[in-house]
Amino acid sequence: MKPRIFISMHYLEIGGAETSLIGLLKALDPARVEVDLFLHAHRGELMRFIPPWVNLLPEIPVYAFIERPLTEALRHGFLRLVWARLRAKWHFHRYIKRKRPTDGSAIFGYIGRYVTPTLPSLRGLGTYDLAISFLTPHDLVLRKVSARKRVAWIHTDYTRIDVDGGLELPVWNGYDYIASVSVEVTKTFLREFPTLADKVIEIENILSPAFVRKRADEEPLPADMARKDNETILLTIGRYSFPKKLEEIPLLCRLLIEKGQDIKWYIIGYGGSDLYIRRAISAEGMEGRVVLLGKRVNPYPYIKACDWYVQPSRYEGKSVVVREAQMLGRPVIITAYPTAASQVTHGVDGVVVPLPAESCAEGMSRALTNETLRQSIISHLVSHDYGNETEVNKVIALIG
């Protein structure tokens, strides 16, 4: 009898963790394992890439409303869920008053603690050989699923987010393994939770070059990314969120133009309002130079068409889209966030520039004017295999 694997994820909208999950599912071998995929909500552009052999479990309505507006959850009669979410918010606000955190990431720990008890058990699905919680909060797989072994994923830089360690440590301790996407992510996580060192294993985001290249060739050169004269085309993809620092792009663009660069910078963004970026574009006078494309279901033809892919983030775990750009032979420029070394070897397969705007623009300008460097990076990228499907063997090994 083949080992049974349970995998939990919120949904499959466009995003790095979601793309990484699709990579994992595609790398798993149906001849070796059976997989049940549990999505809180059956939504997202990546749903169609779930391999047909994977058993997508039915949606349970109350789970689908964990992240929906409270008014909608109330209208659908999920009173216990609404009450639990309000309790989580109340305790989180008490935490804010006590600790004055720099960001709001700690809320997920409170959602996990107070919402999970209100959710239906999944133990009726039987006992799995391995249960995977792919995104925080990890309470659900720990409390609601029966499994011989459990593994929880970490995708982010823990030096840049705020967590209530006392609240989260018991959850992490409940897992047999903690999967980190890079050496640097491991280091940042263990600064917050040093006692968990024996549980951490490193499993990179599993990505397939063949899949990425196939999708890049599905559509012609995007008409809304047409090149004019000798413009250098830059592209950035990311959620409208603080870590991605998209609002600084108009300033960087202005600084680069002042340094003599003829550029147009496209942004594929998703996950909220782009109003704050539009205001920055107006403030810097970069209308026509910084172009917001919104969400694109298939971003790969855009990556293939750019001259440089740029990731100006404040912090990352291990950016999926940076690796995908490298797979498509596109030179990348990333900022020197703490985990940057896991993504780029400066001057070899990309360029790393400082985080502050002035220094960032200066580093970018040097790269943009160095065509020899650009061609050298491209040559390196196209001659190296950036695929890592063999990482899936580390997942199989956890079954024991």
Per-residue pLDDT band at 226 (split at 50, 70, 90) = confident
For the cut 80, the answer to whether the pLDDT of residue 221 exceeds it is no
Neighbours of 69 (CB within 10 A): 9
For the cut 80, the answer to whether the pLDDT of residue 224 exceeds it is no
Per-residue pLDDT band at 233 (split at 50, 70, 90) = very high
Angle ∠(293,299,305) on CA atoms, nearest 5? 85
- Whole-model pTM? 0.89
Considering only residues 105 and 325, tell me which one the structure prediction assigns the higher pLDDT: 325
CA distance 215 to 213: 5
Considering only residues 336 and 100, tell me which one the structure prediction assigns the higher pLDDT: 336
pLDDT at 15: 87
Average confidence (pLDDT) over 102-131: 95
CA distance 273 to 270: 8
Tens digit of pLDDT for each residue in 324-375? 999 999 999 999 998 898 889 999 999 999 999 999 999 999 999 999 999 9
Does the CA dihedral 303-179-114-79 come out positive or negative? positive
Q: Are 307 and 233 in contact (CB under 8 A)?
A: yes
Instruction: Give the DSSP per-residue string, 339-362.
Output: TGGGT--BTTTBEEE-SSHHHHHH
pLDDT at 26: 95
Average confidence (pLDDT) over 138-147: 98
Instruction: Round the average pLDDT of the chain to a whole number and report it.
Output: 94
For the cut 80, the answer to whether the pLDDT of residue 108 exceeds it is yes
Per-residue pLDDT band at 13 (split at 50, 70, 90) = very high
Here the tokens at position 381 are 């990228």
